[in-house]
């Protein structure tokens, strides 16, 4: 029975391969948006793809540097002028789906994606039961970069701040970002997730910010802001006087440059007795809805290729982006990477990032700005609880009716 089944499976695979090979190919133009750092890399990979698939050899591929932040906004503004394949960070997915600016993943590719990538990244590309993008990296998380000569013990935030203050250095963390902020709230044990349906709408919310834990987290943020060493920020080359910074793998090269021999990484510290948590996020590759079947097939094939095990590994080797592919993650070099292992250590305390309404990010910035602006400096627990209640209520207002 088992044999028969595997035979059938092999047949089906062969058939699908045949149909793949028999596809008409595509020789028009195809536009890709990726971050500046990987333009050259993507160019090489596209050449490799063409060599592998002769039916696409005549295809003209244009690669433009459009950052992961801008891509979604541009796609939504004018989907026609947008790229056929575009890389974006996962917080943009619900927007893109709601605006109809991203195509569902081809069903057979979706099966492959599910089988080969880590569960968090698979969850991140799903809206309801539909898969809308190809996971590309699994490194969109943050951890601590620090200067060994300044920070003596990176395990508690209190100690890091004391060391920075003593050395006259700064501790950077972007606490007015909805992304970094969860390090406090999730770490203290709060929850904030949204349920989505297939149309890209968010229909339910599970939140426990307005709780004792939430107050604890908010107080930790306020204490952090009160330290003279604290600076709000997460961009390493814009930081002028770093003792330590909470940042992601994409800044690893810059961090090595800035810290030199004193470069060190660690998971996030504990604060007020709890381990800081946060989001484990992902970068993904989306395909634009197409009016031409051949072009769509080309997009599907190229997207699948650019997010495959080999290319993810190659991307790691070229620019250091951590793969979401399970096999690639097992690679020795990836395992040995200092920044990635700090990230992996931190991800153990993180929740995989799901779907959030676009307005959540500006609301979180508002909360962070209130903390940084000193508005909550003198608030007591009850007042903080009120603030968080308001926060939750506003979040709930973002749900689709």
Partner 1 sequence: MTDLEYLKLSKPAKMGYKTRKFFAALPKKLVGVCKKLGQGIIHAGAGFIRGCKDTVQTFRTGDWKTKLSFLVMGFGSFARGQWGRGLLFFLFQTVFNIFMFMPNAQFSGCYYLGKLSTLGTVETYKEGRRTVYGDNSFFILLYGVLTLFFIVAFIYTWYVNVKQNRLSEMILKSGHKLKSTKEDVSALMDSQFHKTLLALPTLGVTIFTILPILFMILVAFTNFDATHQPPSKLFTWVGWDNFRQLLSTDTSSYGNTFSQVLLWTLIWAFFATFLNYFLGMLVAIMINKKGIKLKKMWRTILVMTIAIPQFVSLLYVSKMFAADGLINSYLMKWGWISSPLPFWTNPTWARVTVIVINVWIGIPYLMLIATGILMNIPADLYESARIDGANAFQMYKKITLPYMLFVTGPYLLTSFTGNINNFNVIFLLSQGKPLSLELSGNAGYTDLLITWLYKMTVNDTNYKLAAVMGILVFVVTAVINLIVYNMIPSVKNEEDFQ
Partner 2 sequence: MSKKHEVPEVDIVIDEEAGVIREVKPEKTRSKKGHERRVNTSIYVILILMSIIWLAPFFFLVFQSFRSYATESGGMVDYLLPKQWSLDNYKWLLESQESNFLRWYGNTLIIAIFSAAIQTIMVLSVSYALSRLRFRGRKLIMNVVLVLGMFPGFLTMITLYFLLKQLGLTQTGAIPGLILIYVASSGMGYYISKGFFDTIPKSLDESARIDGATRFQVFKKIIMPLAKPIVIYTILMAFMAPWGDYVFASYVAFGSEPNYNVAVGLYRWVNVADYQGYFTRFCAGGVLVAVPITALFLALQKYYVEGVTGGAVKG
- Which residues are at the interface with partner 1 (CB under 8 A)? 73, 76-77, 79-80, 95, 98-101, 103-104, 106, 168, 170, 176, 228, 231-233, 239-241, 289-293, 296, 358-359, 362-363, 365-367, 369-370, 372-375, 387, 390-391, 393-394, 397
What's the min distance (Å) between Cβ of 265 and partner 2?
17
Q: Are 246 and 183 in contact (CB under 8 A)?
A: yes
Residue 152 engages partner 2 in binding (rule: CB under 8 A): no
Residue 241 engages partner 2 in binding (rule: CB under 8 A): yes
Residue 262 engages partner 2 in binding (rule: CB under 8 A): no
Rounded CA gap, 119 and 326, in Å? Answer: 9
What's the min distance (Å) between Cβ of 100 and partner 1?
3
Q: Are 324 and 122 in contact (CB under 8 A)?
A: no
| Cβ nearer to partner 1, comparing 241 with 262 | 241
- Other C-beta atoms closer than 10 Å to the C-beta of 253 total 15
Sole binder of partner 2 in the list 44, 237, 317, 400 (CB under 8 A)? 237
Which of partner 2, partner 1, none lies near 148, with the C-beta cut-off 5 to 8 A by kind? none
Which of partner 1, partner 2, none lies near 48, with the C-beta cut-off 5 to 8 A by kind? none
Rounded CA gap, 365 and 342, in Å? Answer: 26
DSSP state of 232: -
Tell how strand 134-140 and strand 279-287 pair up.
antiparallel
| Cβ nearer to partner 2, comparing 6 with 237 | 237
| Contact string 30-59 vs partner 2 (x = CB under 8 A) | -x-x-xxx----------------------
Residues 6+ apart with CB under 8 A from 95: 72, 76, 200, 358
Beta-bridge partners for 271:
274
What's the min distance (Å) between Cβ of 290 and partner 1?
6
**HEC assignment per residue over 110-133:** HHHHHHHECHHHHHHCEECCEECC
Rounded CA gap, 210 and 204, in Å? Answer: 17
Residue 83 engages partner 2 in binding (rule: CB under 8 A): yes
Sole binder of partner 2 in the list 6, 44, 64, 262 (CB under 8 A)? 64
Q: Are 372 and 232 in contact (CB under 8 A)?
A: yes
What's the min distance (Å) between Cβ of 63 and partner 2?
10
């Amino acid at each position: 029975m088992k044999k028969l089944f595997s035979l059938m499976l092999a047949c089906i695979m062969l058939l699908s391969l045949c149909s793949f090979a028999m596809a008409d190919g595509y020789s028009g133009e195809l536009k890709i948006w990726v971050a500046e750092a990987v333009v050259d890399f993507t160019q090489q990979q596209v050449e490799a793809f063409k060599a592998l698939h002769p039916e696409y050899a005549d295809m003209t591929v244009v690669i433009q540097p459009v950052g992961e932040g801008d891509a979604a906004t541009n796609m939504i503004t004018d989907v026609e002028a947008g790229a056929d394949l575009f890389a974006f960070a996962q917080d943009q997915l619900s927007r893109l789906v709601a605006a109809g600016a991203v195509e569902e993943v081809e069903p057979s590719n979706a099966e492959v994606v599910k089988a080969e990538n880590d569960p968090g990244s698979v969850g991140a590309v799903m809206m309801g039961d539909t898969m809308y993008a190809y996971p590309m990296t699994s490194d969109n998380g943050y951890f601590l970069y620090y200067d060994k000569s300044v920070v003596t013990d990176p395990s508690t935030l209190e100690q890091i701040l004391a060391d920075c203050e003593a050395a006259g250095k700064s501790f950077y963390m972007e606490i007015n970002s909805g992304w970094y902020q969860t390090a406090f709230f999730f770490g203290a044990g709060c929850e904030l997730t949204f349920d989505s349906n297939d149309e890209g709408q968010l229909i339910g919310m599970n939140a426990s910010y307005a709780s004792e834990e939430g107050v604890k987290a908010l107080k930790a943020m306020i204490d952090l802001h009160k330290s003279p060493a604290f600076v709000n920020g997460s961009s390493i080359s814009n930081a002028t006087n770093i003792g330590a910074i909470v940042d992601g793998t994409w800044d690893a090269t810059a961090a090595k440059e800035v810290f030199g021999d004193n470069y060190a990484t660690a998971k996030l510290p504990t604060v007020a007795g709890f381990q800081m948590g946060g989001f484990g996020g992902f970068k993904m590759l989306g395909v634009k809805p197409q009016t031409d079947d051949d072009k769509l097939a080309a997009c599907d094939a190229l997207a699948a290729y650019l997010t495959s095990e080999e290319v993810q590994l190659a991307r790691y080797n070229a620019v250091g982006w951590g793969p979401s592919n399970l096999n690639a993650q097992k690679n020795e070099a990836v395992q040995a990477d200092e920044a990635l292992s700090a990230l992996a250590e931190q991800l153990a305390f993180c929740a995989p990032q799901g779907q959030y309404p676009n307005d959540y990010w500006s609301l979180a910035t508002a909360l962070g700005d209130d903390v940084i602006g000193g508005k909550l400096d003198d608030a007591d627990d009850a007042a903080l609880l009120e603030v968080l209640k308001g926060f939750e209520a506003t979040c709930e207002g973002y749900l689709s009716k």
